[in-house]
Amino acid sequence: MMARSSISGLGASAGVAVGRAAVVQPPERYVVPDPGDTGGVAALQAAIDTAVASLRVLADRSALDSAAMLDFQIEMLLDAAIVEMAAERMQESADAASAWISAMDAYIAGFEQADDEGIRARAVDVVDIKNRVLDALLGRPAGSFPPGSIYVGHDIGPSLFLSHDWSSGGGIVLYAGSTVSHVAMLARARAVPMVVGTGAMTVVPGQTLLVDGSEGRVVVEPSADAMPPARSDGPATAAVAASADRGRVETADGIAVQLSINVNDPAELDHVDPAATAGIGLLRTEFLLKTPADIFNEHEQFAAYRRILAWANEAPVTIRLFDLGGDKAFPTIAGEHGSFLGLRGIRLLLQKPDILRVQLRALLRAAPFGHLRIMLPMVTVPSEFAATAAIVTEEAAVLAARGLDHAVPPLGMMVEVPAAALTLDMFSASAFFSFGTNDLGQYLAAAARDNQAVADLHSQARPAILRLLSLAMRDAAALGRPAGICGDMAGDPECLADLLKTGLRNFSVAPARLAALKAAIAALHAGGHSTVTD
């Protein structure tokens, strides 16, 4: 056994976990095949073969009627025409995955528009094979590790975190990483103990590690008496006080504030009473994606959005379009990993409209089931908003042509890029605004939010953020548009008085912050607050 040692880092998510070290190397980057590359067709054919093999196994185990349905799917996949359709699109500059998606979407539309009801009913089979092949083509995120173990590596992407089964415990130790990254936020929401910034350390795979996310330390081969009595400090999402105030709270001197919640994972809603909130102010839909293939699964997305609208029970639900890119890249088709200044949010969606169109169709179909608002991430200039709105109109027409129920909800935007915040008066097309101070802060301070070395600049740059918020709130009021805040600042009682001075009254916070913020608002004498209203 190696000598016992203790390594210091920074606690990114509280709690203690003990488990065997799973030392994970950074995944190989996926290379998108060149346009027309036969490698693309070969990869697609291999994925189809995998899908056929898995369907055969299923069919062998199934009852007669479902085996017939699976046989129908196998037959479709064995038809050479199906590869040819996608191969044609690969000539036109698409990679294997995008070509498969657009070929299959056209094929599905043919089924959905058929006069014969029996043929229309088969569309769902085609959707199923489309997703099965995509799963095989894109695979699950690389770098999987056993449930209950301690992930040890340079960094960990949100997609890998989300695809992992944390139900049997486990923790995270990162040589680099940051306490303000998206994955740290997810770890806190799921109460997964996490320590970041340990620097290079030597750990042998399989060694027992104790991760203390509260103290920011890692113990290699801990002694028996160092072992914790329980796995963690308890789920961060659990303690939301039930009350039927619908999220409306007044300061001690009578300023009314509306509190909604930010949701990263529908499981968080199990711990929240909808009557204690003014609704959902931000659903980060990118975190609902478990595999890259989910990006193109309209049916699954529709079902997920419908479930969330049902939870809210007519309260407003603001669903944000995928904010992929930056530290939320999928290693396969979406987003440049690591760059917060490149293709991210709406920029990426407009470059990959197939992704945008699928999500919009799912949202428009979910809209009749509740009070939905759609929010665009990372908008910088009005033309991005206009281009997205035009695609919404086109997809509404597609759904109408397919005879599918839908509605077009209000379209609003995150204000998280300084250029947009400074010119909010130019965004009259937006039905509402929500300030994303996590990003606004990193862009104003020129300090990446996933770099711990510059993390303190975020709090020091607070006066700059507040000045910009005041300016932008004035523009929002002049346009007559409601505006709120959904960045982490909203949940920090220390920022409360200053935020109220900017005119903000709509706050959206992590469920775990709701009870503390309500108490802070009720105790606050805000004093001479601004007359700007939202």
- Residues with a catalytic annotation lie at 182, 486
Q: Out of 112, 286, 327, 416, which residue is the one contacting Mg ion (CB under 5 A)?
A: 416
- Stretch of 122-130, 228-236, 383-391, 435-443 contacting ligand PEP, by CB under 6 A: 435-443
Distance CA 374, CA 372 (A): 7
Instruction: List the structure tokens of 180.
Output: 């303000």
Nearer to Mg ion, 294 or 439 (CB): 439
Q: Out of 436, 484, 491, 503, which residue is the one contacting Mg ion (CB under 5 A)?
A: 436
Q: Coil, strand, or helix at residue 73?
A: helix
Q: Is residue 324 a contact partner of residue 294, using CB atoms and an 8 Å limit?
A: no
Instruction: List the structure tokens of 131.
Output: 């997703």
Q: Out of 135, 294, 416, 475, which residue is the one contacting ligand PEP (CB under 6 A)?
A: 416
- Stretch of 59-67, 173-181, 332-340, 433-441 contacting ligand PEP, by CB under 6 A: 433-441
Nearer to ligand PEP, 476 or 486 (CB): 486
Q: Which amino acid is at 97?
A: A
Looking up tokens 């005879």, which residue turns up? 403
# residues contacting ligand PEP (CB under 6 A): 10
- Stretch of 99-107, 311-319, 434-442, 449-457 contacting Mg ion, by CB under 5 A: 434-442
Residue 437 binds ligand PEP (CB under 6 A): yes
Residue 286 binds Mg ion (CB under 5 A): no
Site for ligand PEP in 275-304 (CB under 6 A): 282, 284
Nearer to Mg ion, 328 or 518 (CB): 328
Nearer to ligand PEP, 126 or 421 (CB): 421
Residue 323 binds ligand PEP (CB under 6 A): yes
How would DSSP label each residue in 106-124?
HHHHHHHT-SSHHHHHTHH
Residue 347 binds ligand PEP (CB under 6 A): no
Sign of torsion over alpha carbons 315, 389, 508, 434: negative
Residue 436 binds ligand PEP (CB under 6 A): yes
| Residue 371: burial class (beta carbons within 10 Å; 0-12, 13-18, 19+) | middle
Host H or E run for residue 186: helix 182-189
Nearer to ligand PEP, 197 or 487 (CB): 487
β-strands 256-263, 16-23 pairing: unpaired
Distance CA 178, CA 196 (A): 6
| Residue 382: burial class (beta carbons within 10 Å; 0-12, 13-18, 19+) | middle
How would DSSP label each residue in 151-163?
EEES---HHHHHH
Write out the residues near ligand PEP by the rule CB under 6 A. 282, 284, 323, 416, 436-439, 486-487
Write out the residues near Mg ion by the rule CB under 5 A. 416, 436, 439
